[in-house]
Structure 1
Amino acid sequence: MAERGTFLRKMAPRGASALLAGLAMSAPAMAQESLATDAERVVGQIFERAEPVTEAGAHGFFQLLGNQPIAFILLALAVGTFIGRFRFKGISLGSTAGTLLVGVVLSMIAEAAFGITYSIPGILSSFMLLLFMYALGLKVGPQFFSGLRRGGLAFVGIGFMVWSLNWVICYFGAAMAGLAPGYATGLISGSYTITAILGVGQSALDSGAFTPPDGISVAEVGANMAAAYAISYVLSSVGIILLIRYLPRLFGRDATADAKQAEAEYSGGSTDPVPGAPGALVMNFSPYDLRAFTVTHESLLGRSVAQLAADFPEAPILRLVRDGVIINLEDNPTIAPGDIVTVRANVHDLILEDGELIGPESDEPLARNIPMEVADIHIGSHAISGKTLAELDTQAHGGVEVQAHFRAGNELPLGPNSDVRFGDVLRLTGPDAALKAVARQFGGRAILPSFKSEVLYLALAMLVGYLVGIATVRIAGIPFALGTSAGCILAGVAVSYFRSRNPEFGGPVHEGARSFLQDFGLNTFVAVLSANVGPKVISALGGDTILWLALIGTAGALIPPLIAFWVGIKVFGLNSVISDGATTGGRNSTPGLNAIIEESGSSVAAVPYPVSYALTTVLALIGGYFSMILS
């Protein structure tokens, strides 16, 4: 028994150790199993949220577009832009109309064939539209006030004509066709593509300003408005884009040539873009150029760089290369035989004089590879105010040349006797370091080309424009507001206007970034809009009423702009592209504006747009309210 007890005592620790060892060995396995379980749970949650398509084939495809609105938007953009590029006998839809058409067709097929109703939050489309309007304002700001001075009254007249003709066609057309109450207001709203008109029409119903006749309920009148709006909206949206795009051509005008002429007229004779405008910081042709020479002339040998700069200020040395090494000019080195010097001066003088004076020209890449920049500098020093360009002698400051001179946003003639005043803007070309040094001397900052986006000014300016646009005043129960679109385009106009006077005001904005905001913003807005309006078109189909809605809505959308454009070029004597811009503003058609911009290759059509747009936005709301009351 003693031996047995001893054996058990000896085995007990060994058994406990084995048990602990087994547990220790199983710990990693248990941890791995736990991690695997967690991973499966996380992956499962991801796929649960992805809402996978449960149907195959076409049904599954349209269900996918419904579950994933981003996929719908991107598909409409891609296919619509692709279709918009095709031209038939010189006519094309363009990217905006193409995107709208593709989006409407997709949403109608989903609704009619599979009972899938697409609905994308309107905040996305609203924000994209505001981005488009702000970017457009940045483009046309410097020309906006010049356009007002030249044709403000004509722009107002065109806008009023478009609105009044539209109201007459839609209201009396609905009355002559015997359409029930609500259809006229819906036709005005859809043909004008202003959804807010439905709101004032509904307000007239809710307030009791209009009482439906016996046998018709308030809900039925509202349904009539929605049906008329949906049908006329789609037809007028596509139709107005094509009409506005080709109005100049219909009347025998060349949109591209007329746009260039309008740009020249509204620029006031300027040959350089104002500060902050697209293409401002682009180096134009200059008689000054970089040249490299091997020093052989004895009169230069043994003299310092500073001495040569004092003796030859018209051809300053920008770089010195000796035995394949760049010598620091700040050390004021002495010229030695065989040195290669780089100068920037008038090519004419270099060919006739300096080539013989310095020595043979060199093609040494190290000497010639001096990056040249273009910069706008705001004059902020009173010490140089009143001096002439000859007195300032920018060429002596490291080969800096004056390319253009602006005052209060207007380009001034350039010459040695041009006086520079506080607040002016000089556009200079030269090496980067030299430009920054001159900017410090002039009391400003060198605004150089940049690929960065100025998000701070964009956000603040759009916020101010948005708040101004939503400010509402009620008169006789009718809400009046400038509108967020008009507010944001005017915000862009204001930023570009102030930037033309001081390029340090939120600049520069790269033209590629601005152009992308303009194109992508509008087309995304149209894609979202097409998804939401397609189902409404389906619900409005049926009976002969749809034929009247299509006919009256299309006539109200297209006939007024056609007449107003003709009056603009024949009566007011406007340039065809300017008349087109005023017409599309009077029609409140932002996609139409983009169409004429694409056709003419210029944004000058946007100059009159805000004037007629703001006027007719107010008039359309008033007209919509009274169209309901008079029903």
Structure 2
Amino acid sequence: MFGPLVEILRNSPEIALFLVLCIGYAIGQIRFGPIQLGGICGTLIAALVVGQLGIRLDDSVKNVFFMLFIFALGYAGGPQFFANLDAKGLRLGLLCVVEVVAVLALVLAATVLLSLDQGTAAGLMAGAATESAVVGTATDAISKLSLSPADIAQLQANVVTAYSITYVFGLIAIVVVTSQVFPLLLRVDLRAEADKLWKTMGGGADDPAAASATPEMVGRVFRVTVGRGRSVGELTAILGRQASIERVVRNGQSLAVEPDLHLRVGDRVLAIGRRSALVNVGELLGQEFADTTAFDTVVETTEVVANRREWFGRGLQALEAVLPTTVQVVGVARDGHAMPLLNDLTLQRGDVLKLYGPAPDVATAIAQVGDRVIASTRSNISFAATGILLGVFIGSFSAKIGGIPFSLGTGGGALLTGLAFGWYQSKHPHRLSVPADALALMKDLGLATFIACVGLASGPQALALVQKFGIALPLVGIAVAVVPASISLFVGHRLLRLEAPVLLGAIAGQQCSTPALSAVQNAAGNATPLLGYTITYAISNVVLPLMGPLIVALAGLVHHTT
């Protein structure tokens, strides 16, 4: 019955590719509590199943899409990676060192005890550490080994099979331990600790979870009655930076808004700010006035990248103190994550601030903070292609480290040039380059297509590896996920003295596990775990993929000596 369909897939493997992507991302959307496999793991599972039919795409397809992915990965992470190479970032970066060293040691120990080949060892590392990019850098390194094509194909198949087995167990393990087990070991009420940290850093006391989202900004016009005699300066002091008096119209004439301007009965006042702050302004001024024809103030919401050196390492409150009083910071994004709007939130190079206020004042604020983010859907293909070409060139070099031949490969080279090009773009955001949406598509489609191609080619060999190791690989995968996290828990709590929400977020980041972050945030009740997550995520997301070639080389040495 399925004979004609199988024949079509074999004759047109591109159809099989999109079938795998379709099924894989559907599988990845299924959620089991806080656990969600995601599209990449779902695609790999679908590819391994469909691959049993003997369908294979040309290797050039796999290589092209992997280079697109790995360059985009570096490009997107470059600004935050270099921004975190400071005292605070390197302090939390110690947890990333723990992750890398512990994972390498555990995988090498498993290689000796279970007699793992290089492919299985690399797949174990990629899956248990939940870092899909290691699959690409490891398979690229394996392709350069002095082995027969059949042996290389077998090792590459073992990479993806071991990854698919250990990823699921590693993901579940890291989600459970960070959100449920570790708070018990620390003997803390995570929600209470997160609420305490939120208030300590200047967050509001009412609804910290809601406060972490971008507040809704509005404008309201009031007719002065009870507010007669009040000065603009007095109102500004009462409203703080939550709202501001933007316009005052008296007898049809617009007045200069100055601190010593006193309001009179009948004045019409335009106030701009957060909706929650304007709810009670009527009690200070008078009844809200519906006719706004006299108020032609143009307000805008603009994104600006923070690249003025004087703000790096300083709190958000210090920045707001020098901005025009009519301009509000309504959002801060770091590495694609919306950060909590706390007074003590430390600004970093590359943070994207969303400013709201009158157009002239916003322009003044932009000059104080950095450069306006260009909202464009156009991509500089030449810029991206140059970066990938340089990466391939850098990756072609090899050297011996301790007698072990080591090469970054095309993946490691493209990752490094992506970092450099992304950092350059963060320094010059006013120049057209690769928009964030285009980068997201390059990463998602690049990695998913690469995984699908490798999974299809590995399908026939997958069952043999499962039968050979049985339950051993899942158990080792859990150990590789949990042991480094446990060591980091001790280091972060005893040595670094990190607050529990920040520490647990940092552990999720060192594992590059977004599901673990989501679980920790749900347990904490607010966004404070992001304060640790963004730093370790930015570092581990760069360092772990570079470990792909290294684990292949080390596992080969161990395998040869034993």
TM-score by length of 2: 0.63
Instruction: Tell me the amino acid that sits aligned with residue 156 of structure 1.
Output: V
Tell which has more relative contact order, 1 or 2 (C-alpha 8 A, sep 6+).
Answer: 2
Structure number with greater Rg is 1
Is 2:555 the partner of 1:624?
A: yes
Aligned to 1:214: none
Residue among 264, 284, 290 paired with 2:219: 290
How much has 1:65 moved relative to structure 2? 3.2
1:102 is displaced (CA, Å) by: 0.8
Partner of 1:480: 406
Contact 1:469 1:481 in 2 (8 A): no
Counterpart pick for 1:187 among 120, 134, 137: 120
Instruction: Give 1:97's aligned amino acid.
Output: C
Residue of structure 2 in register with 1:178 after alignment: none
| Equivalent residue number for residue 582 of structure 1 | 510
Aligned to 1:362: 289
In the TM superposition, 1:177-216 aligns within 5 A as 184-192=117-125, 193=135, 194-196=138-140, 198-199=142-143, 202-203=145-146
Q: CA deviation at 1:105?
A: 0.4
Q: Partner amino acid for 2:5?
A: F
Sequence identity (%): 18
Tell me, what secondary structure is at the counterpart of 2:398? strand
Correspondent of 1:562 among 459, 464, 482: 482
Equivalent runs, 1:423-442 vs 2, <5 Å: 428-436=355-363, 438=364, 442=367
1:450-489 matches, cutoff 5 A: 450=375, 452=377, 455=380, 459=384, 462-463=387-388, 466=391, 470=395, 472-475=397-400, 478-486=404-412
The residue number in structure 1 matching 2:166 is 239
Q: 1: CA distance between counterparts of 2:476 and 2:443?
A: 28
- Matched residue, 1:7: none
- Residues 131 and 521 of structure 1 are in contact (CA less than 8 Å); yes or no, is this contact kept in structure 2? no
Letter in 2 for 1:613: L
With 187-196 and 140-149 compared, the bigger mean Cα shift is at: 140-149
Q: 1:187 and 1:94, CA in 2 relative to 1: closer, same or farther beyond 3 A?
A: closer
Q: Is the 8 A contact 1:191 1:554 kept in 2?
A: no
Instruction: Write out aligned runs for 1:315-334 (5 A).
Output: 315-317=245-247
What is the count of residue pairs matched by the alignment? 479
> 2:2 maps to which residue?
58
Report if aligned partners of 2:111, 2:559 keep a CA contact under 8 Å in 1: no
Kept in 1, the 8 Å contact 2:379–2:434? The answer is yes
* 1:59-100 residue CA offsets vs partner (Å, 9 max, x unmatched): 332333344444333322222222223345664433222111
SS of alignment partner, residue 235 of structure 1: helix
Q: State how far apart, in whole Å, the 1-side matches of 2:162 and 2:320 are.
A: 62
Gaps of 5+ in 2: 126-134, 184-188, 205-211, 237-243, 257-264, 311-317, 334-338, 345-349, 522-529
Structure 1's 392 and 253: CA in aligned 2 closer, same or farther, altered over 3 A? Answer: closer
CA distance in 2, matches of 1:93, 1:368: 52
Select 1:159's aligned residue among 93, 100, 113: 100
Counterpart secondary structure, 1:292: strand
1-structure distance, mates of 2:416, 2:190 = 25
Q: Is the 8 A contact 2:24 2:41 kept in 1?
A: yes
SS of the residue corresponding to residue 373 of structure 1 reads strand
Partner of 1:418 in structure 2?
none
User: How far does the alpha carbon of each residue in 1:205-241 deviate from its partner, in whole angstroms, 9 at most, with x for none?
Assistant: 6xxxxxxxxxxxxx5xx75564455246313334224
1:613 aligns with 2:553: no
Structure 2 SS opposite 1:195: helix
Equivalent residue for 2:315? none
- Name the CA distance, whole Å, in 2 between partners of 1:282 and 1:460: 36
1:170 aligns with 2:98: no
In the TM superposition, residue 447 of structure 1 has moved relative to its aligned partner by 1.8
Q: Which residue is 2:67 aligned to?
A: 127
CA contact (8 A) 1:377 1:439 kept: no
Aligned-partner SS, 1:317? strand
SS at match of 2:117: helix
Identify the residue that residue 259 of structure 2 maps to in structure 1. Answer: none
The partner residue of 2:176 within 231, 235, 249 is 249
| Deviation (angstroms), 1:150 | 1.7
Alpha-carbon shift at residue 107 of structure 1 (Å)? 1.5
Deviations 1:569-625 (A, max 9, x none): 2455483453354356xxxxxxxx466467667663623414652663454143134
* Structure 2 equivalent of residue 16 of structure 1: none
Report the alpha carbon displacement of residue 126 of structure 1 after superposing the two structures with TM.
Answer: 0.8
Deviations 1:477-496 (A, max 9, x none): 75423455555556666667
Q: CA RMSD in A?
A: 5.8
Give the Cα–Cα distance (whole angstroms) in 1 for the partners of residues 475 and 159 of structure 2. 10
Q: Which runs of 5+ in 1 are unaligned?
A: 1-56, 175-182, 206-218, 273-280, 300-307, 331-336, 383-387, 416-422, 585-592
Q: CA–CA distance in 2 between the matches of 1:411 and 1:449?
A: 24
TM-score, normalising length from structure 1?
Answer: 0.57
Q: Which amino acid aligns with 2:220?
A: R
CA distance in 2, matches of 1:424, 1:106: 43
Could you tell me which of 26, 31, 47 is aligned with 1:103? Answer: 47
